[in-house]
Amino acid sequence: MSDPSSPRAALAPWDRRDLPSAFTVEETASRVGHYKWIEMRIFELMGGWVAAVPEPDIKLRLGTHCYHHAFHAELWHKRLPELRDMNPERLTRPANPEMEAFVVAMGDPYAPGESIEKLVGLYRVLLPHLVAAYTYHRNNANQITDAPTIRALELCLRDDMEEWREGEMILQSLITTPDDVDRAAARQAELAKLMVAAGGVVGPDSIGAFELGDDT
């Protein structure tokens, strides 16, 4: 029989999760603030596009996806006070001016005939970068102390992966001529350059810093 007075191990024998995290509490709070900001901007952009796009099926998908991002922004808003005794609104900000410029550029094509330009920016540039940032955070979080953040990341990733798939299918249905291909490629290149300048949705550490290997 075990001794009831002996200290209990911190982890059960079947639970040997790694304890270290790649992020301090401050770094996590900063990232979450950037997540909330970009999710709010996506919600606002998509909400405006619902009225601007002429295709009924695209309106339907945008409306559904729009409220995914409203939900994500609320998730991150609720997570901020739990991470740090700080004002959540102060932490809700873009990673840098370049990221803010990217979002402004995302909203430029507003005419009804510019559905390709709108959707390319969202589904071929912004959403893949957001998925990458969330995945990096998920893979480097502390499985025990960061469990609430990991759950939020997984909920967002589930929605975003579904949106990415559906958005790509919509784009393929719209891009049917060589001119459409050129329009899509030009728009993707324009916005990808702005995203690279920002370093990703949460700045240069969006997917971690790569270190050069020693070739000697």
Q: Give the domain range for residue 108.
A: 25-198
Which residue is it, tokens 């900000």? 93
26-30, 156-160, 168-172: least confidently modelled range: 26-30
Q: Per residue in 4-57, pLDDT tens? A: 677 766 655 555 556 677 888 888 989 999 999 999 999 999 999 998 888 999
Q: Determine, yes or no, domain membership for 3.
A: no
CB-based contact 98:200 (threshold 8 Å)? no
Q: Per residue in 90-149, pLDDT tens? A: 889 999 999 999 999 999 867 778 999 999 999 999 999 999 999 999 988 888 888 999
Question: Measured between alpha carbons, how far is 192 from 199 in angstroms, rounded to an integer?
Answer: 10
Q: Determine, yes or no, domain membership for 186.
A: yes
CATH number at residue 110: 1.20.1260.10
Q: What is the pLDDT of residue 214?
A: 45
Q: How many domains in the chain?
A: 1
